[in-house]
Amino acid sequence: MEAIMFKNASIAVTICAVSLLVLAGCGQMRGTSHTNDTAPRQFPSYFKQLTTFGNYDVSNPRLAEGPKDDQFTIVDTHGSVTLDIGQGLSFYSTGGPDITVYMPNDRPANYTVHVRHARHEEANWTEIGRGRGPGDFDLDPYYSGAADFLQIRNEGTEPLYIDAVRALNVRHD
């Protein structure tokens, strides 16, 4: 009987020890990094939410959410689609490309990319670049600080096909 209890206790201790080692090895004990607990955790993220405002002359706007999947939001001439990086998140500049817009190479259209950091419709948009086809955009020197929202406006005469939009530098607010 004592041998069975000792064996069960030994297994329980081993499971706990292995669990702690796995968590520590991932650097994610209680959601913080052990390398620098004061720095915000940054990571790339696809835009995950469509806003309730700023979507004009657009078909299938929700298809621009999430990772690339070859399903397209179609923005008609002079239309726009507005995306939110997600509640409690913001994206920001780190000196290189900050935003990637994914679209098919065989359907280029002229568009502008705008950002803002405000959770109300009246806030001003800042243009950070112009594109034709897929491309990367840098917030510098047009926008400083963190942003929550991104808007893509079709400035051309052809429909604009958007597969996905990715922010390369995201952090928890």
Q: What are the phi and psi torsion angles at 24 (to 5°)?
A: -65, -40
Candidates 82, 142, 93, 66; CA nearest to 118 is 82
Quick one: three-class SS letters along 154-172?
Answer: ECCCCCEEECEEEEEEEEE
Tokens for 64?
A: 């621009």
pLDDT the model gives residue 161: 97
- Which pLDDT does position 58 carry in this prediction? 94
Q: Give the pLDDT score at 42.
A: 59
Q: What is the pLDDT of residue 44?
A: 77
pLDDT in the model for residue 22: 32
Helix (H) or strand (E) holding 56: strand 56-59
Structure-token pair, residue 74: 């179609």
Q: Low-confidence residues of the chain, pLDDT below 50?
A: 1-6, 9, 12-40
Q: What integer pLDDT is reported at residue 33 of this predicted model?
A: 30
Contacts 24+ apart (CB under 8 A), 11-14: none
Domain covering 43-172: architecture: Sandwich (2.60)
The structural domains of the chain, with segments of one domain joined by +, span: 2-31, 43-172
Question: What does the pLDDT read at residue 21?
Answer: 33
pTM: 0.74
Task: Quote the pLDDT of residue 41.
Answer: 54
Q: What pLDDT does residue 173 have?
A: 80
Amino acid in the structure at residue 115 = V
* pLDDT tens-digit map of 25-74: 333 322 333 333 344 455 779 888 888 778 899 999 999 999 999 999 99
User: Residue 147 carries which DSSP code?
Assistant: B
User: Which H helix or E strand runs over 19?
Assistant: helix 2-26
